[in-house]
Copies of this chain bind each other. A is one copy, B any other.
Amino acid sequence: MKNTVDIQNLNDNRNVRIDKVGVKGLKYPIIVEDRANATQHTVADLDIFVELPHHHRGTHMSRFIEVLNAYHQRNLVAEIEHFVLETKDRLDADSAFVNISFPYFIEKQAPVSGIKSLMSYDCFFLASHKDEFEMQIGVKVPITTVCPCSKEISAYGAHNQRSIVTVVVKYSGYVWLEELIDIVEAVASCEVYSLLKRADEKFVTEKGYDNPKFVEDIVRDVVVELRKDKRIIEYRVESENYESIHNHSAYASVVGKRDS
């Protein structure tokens, strides 16, 4: 190999600090903590970034993957703080950021028959380390929403649909993904299952009809619950209802902080 320059190590005089630079959209098998079963295997999409000072020409992309590979077959989520710190150190950076999103599976029991099945939830972790470690966790929870207006004005029936509720929180202590999922499912018109027998389908239909909620109600009811929880420092809650009577969605979102 000829005597080449390590261009990434050159000085840069454009005076532009780069907030985030690194690798994006990397698929990787991971192990995550699971409240019911200790751990579970899943597959993540990963973004891993560092801050780049204005005087450095480039970062070293291969080092991101080297750090990650050392965590193969380990519980990346349990070790997330070490992973972010190690990325920051290995890249010699002032800050590091890791976004991990993955499908997460929970065994649920149908409400009447008690029959069990697995439900998938898209979940994510947003971890960073500048002066200190910070982490946000998020869930996307599918639910049924029944329209209160449709129920009120109609002689019978009510339009309903699948909605996806996203909750992202910054917290102190420890919060399980399952806790956020429970909050959302508890405020839904009805929760969603992979497997329902006839008696279950009757139950969820009637429960939904008895419990109609607007998109506004969903996000408010989630916020009310989050505000009760002392561990929650910041939250973002949104719901997208894939309306059964339209070809577009109804949507609502709320962003808040503990003391606001």
Contact = CB atoms under 8 A, between A and B. Distances in A.
Interface of A: 1-2, 4-8, 12, 14, 16-29, 40-43, 47, 49, 52, 57-59, 61-62, 65-66, 69, 72, 102-103, 105, 115-120, 142, 144, 146, 148-150, 152-162, 190, 192-199, 201-202, 204-206, 208-209, 214-217, 219-221, 223-224, 240, 242-255
A216 B57 contact: yes
A220 B5 CA distance: 21
Given A18-B253, A41-B29, A152-B7, A144 B118 contact: no
B57 A214 contact: yes
A246 B201 contact: no
Contact of A195 (B24, B47, B66, B221): B66
Q: What is the count of identical protomers in the complex? A: 4
Contacts of A221: 14
A104 B120 CA distance: 19
A102 to B, nearest CB: 8
Given A23-B250, A201-B245, A244-B162, A157 B196 contact: no
B244 A160 contact: yes
Contact of A153 (B1, B152, B154): B1
A223 B212 CA distance: 36
Contacts of A219: 16, 18
